[in-house]
Chain A
Amino acid sequence: MSKENIIELKDIRMSYDGETVLDGIDLTIKDGEFVTFLGPSGCGKTTTLRIIAGFESQDSGDVFFEGKNINAVPPHKRNINTIFQRYALFPHLNVYDNVAFGLKVKKTPRSEIHDKVLEMLELVNLKGLEKRKIDTLSGGQQQRVAIARAIINHPKVLLLDEPLSALDLKLRKDMQVELKNLQKRTGITFIFVTHDQEEALSMSDTVVVMDKGKIQQIGSPADIYNEPKNAFVADFIGESNIIDGIMKKDLLVQINGRDFECLDAGFGVNESVDVVIRPEDVDIVPKDKGMLEGVVTSVTFLGVHYEIIVDINNFKWMIQTTDFHDVGETVGLFIEPDAIHIMRKSEYSGKFGDYSSYSDELDEMNEEAAEAAAAEGNADD
């Protein structure tokens, strides 16, 4: 994998009707990387993608492609292809002609088009469907046509705008694996947009977490999960308990009036901080052997593990464990130093990480509402 920068964004700013959509995006993407823009709807991830594709022009800032400024280059002259959210396949053309579209525009000789289209259709497992009309294909098949139509042009960069969101869960998992393999095989730089954190973690080399038009954190999936920069990232990627703490000195943090050893350093003495503890990193022990003590207020069985909510001084912790503990039981919590992650206070402090009002149903409803809003937003533009 080469280490050349293929795309660079420099201080991209953009607003619609006075509302800031992108607030100073700086980003470098290396050739051959699988990069994911992750964030809730309205965070600016799709807009950033559309600026790279050339469908939108930023108010200020520069886009570089292989070191050259491409602000003024129209989409059809960029060596970048896109897989659209709802595929945008041409309904008046059959599968073959959809895939051949880009090559026909480039006036490629007929026989070469024929060979390449068949090769591509074989690559995406659509052999034999050349003559089918688009509306007779299933969602998964349409997805494959969209992939073949894009990569037949050998783009340097492939942009994918929530391409899996219309598929059911099983198919989505399969396509995740296929896309990842395809990216490795072709060596094309993939820029993938999603609001699904699992998808982002499982597929990407680099995850760019965005919110409110700003990049919150850039890093490998493991970095993002283990070392979140602020409460937003910690909460958006997986479950986390985020507790107010005071950094007594390097490697020592006070939570709930008790000192805990940790692995973080470089904060001011007695600096207020956010402490992240992942639910799976907390052990439940008999109350006299724990570091903290609390009462179990809810237990949910999730197959692999139980999700247990423990109330400690009116702050509700989420703990994932394979051991059952009943509601009302007083338990002790044991936390290893490496389970504790310290973050500086940010605008997001205090907004996330407490499971007081937690319920799965509420979470799902919120997610559905956000998705509906996202779909509406897309229909508007």
Chain B
Amino acid sequence: MTKAKSGQVALNAPYLLWAVAFIVVPLIFVAYYAFTTADGGFTFQNIITFFTHKQYMTVFWRSMLYALWATLICLLIAYPFAYCMSKVNMSSQRMLMLLVMLPMLMNLIVRTYSWQQILERNGLINKLLESIGLEPVQFLGNAGVIIFGMVYNYLPFMILPIYSSISKVDKSLLEASNDLGCNAFGTVRRVILPMSLPGILSGITMVFVPCVSTFYISRQFSDGNIKMIGDVIEDKFYRSSVPDYNIGATISLVLMLIILISLAVVNKFSDGDDESGGGVVI
């Protein structure tokens, strides 16, 4: 080994150790628990249990469905928002960017807890409604409010990559499109939308992945009545009276595989265009 090479290895070593200790080893643990019984024997039974028990499957499909809805709603809100944001002057752009990021400075748990306080039966909104003589409304405990919670928490992750890819589109291209007969809408459809596709795809990834594995939001907004796959994993590991590491690890493993597959699908769409993309592809 040359000197330069051994130097490189020495420099990389801390990161390598870090990655092994905190990524590889935990993954091995997850895999180990997923394929063993409570007393340590090898088995496929956990996976069979997960895919055959109705309670798990219901939760699994519910998580997928809610995450898809939340991602779609985020996209529908974020795209026009990011487009308008790229159109205003530079100082307003910075201001809007700050406003988008501001909630992210607070911890997700704190934010979610605050919303629970605002929305609950004796919360801020219902008190206001009562004070003007209206009936209180049951906000919490349904699918809509959980999806709202996810949209609220993850919207910035959709806005930022889309905004960054839209604002990268050269202004002269918009003029060229205009010059060739496109009105503002046509220009969005024929130039801005296709050119910001990488931003849209990374936004979708960055929202869908945390949404599908959400746990805290659903528990707080439904008083534990509507469970998502993340809640079930949490239960199995430490909330239930009899922890079941094996099934918990199995669900985690399946969820990871699902996320990897969806990432592969998204990357397939953006192939060849990775350089022109905006934002982050995880």
A residues near B (Cβ < 8 Å) are 53, 55, 74-76, 80-82, 84-86, 88-92, 101-102, 104-106, 149-150, 153
Contacts and interface: CB of A to CB of B under 8 A. Distances in A.
B271 interface: no
Contacts of B186: 76, 105
Interface of B: 170, 172-173, 175-183, 186, 190-191, 194-195, 276
Contacts of A82: 175-176, 179
A88 B175 contact: yes
B195 A76 contact: no
Contact of A92 (B179, B182, B183, B194): B194
Given A101-B190, A105-B186, A105-B190, A88 B181 contact: no
Given A88-B170, A90-B191, A91-B276, A81 B180 contact: yes
A107 to B, nearest CB: 10
Contacts of A91: 173, 195, 276
Nearest to A104: B190
B173 A88 contact: yes
A377 to B, nearest CB: 14
Contact of A90 (B173, B179, B183): B173
Given A80-B179, A81-B179, A91-B276, 17 more contacts: A53-B179, A55-B178, A74-B178, A75-B179, A82-B175, A82-B179, A84-B172, A85-B172, A88-B172, A88-B176, A90-B176, A90-B177, A92-B194, A105-B180, A105-B186, A149-B180, A153-B180
Contacts of B173: 88, 90-91
B172 A101 contact: no
A339 B214 CA distance: 87
Contacts of B177: 90, 101
Contacts of A101: 177, 180, 190
B273 to A, nearest CB: 8
Contacts of B195: 91-92
27 contacts: A74-B178, A76-B178, A76-B179, A76-B180, A76-B181, A76-B183, A81-B179, A81-B180, A82-B179, A84-B175, A85-B172, A86-B172, A88-B170, A88-B172, A88-B176, A89-B176, A90-B177, A92-B191, A92-B195, A101-B177, A102-B180, A105-B180, A105-B181, A105-B182, A106-B181, A153-B180, A153-B181
B24 to A, nearest CB: 39
Contacts of B276: 91
Nearest to A92: B194
B271 to A, nearest CB: 14
Closest 6 CB pairs of A and B: A88-B172, A88-B176, A102-B180, A105-B181, A75-B178, A82-B179
A149 B194 CA distance: 19
B276 to A, nearest CB: 7
Contacts of A84: 172, 175-176
A301 to B, nearest CB: 43
Nearest to A149: B180
Contacts of A74: 178, 183
A92 B183 CA distance: 19
A105 B190 CA distance: 9
A104 B190 CA distance: 10
Given A90-B191, A91-B195, A76 B182 contact: yes
Residue of A53, A55, A88 contacting most chain B CB atoms (<10 Å): A88
B198 to A, nearest CB: 10
Contacts of A102: 180-181
Contacts of B183: 74, 76
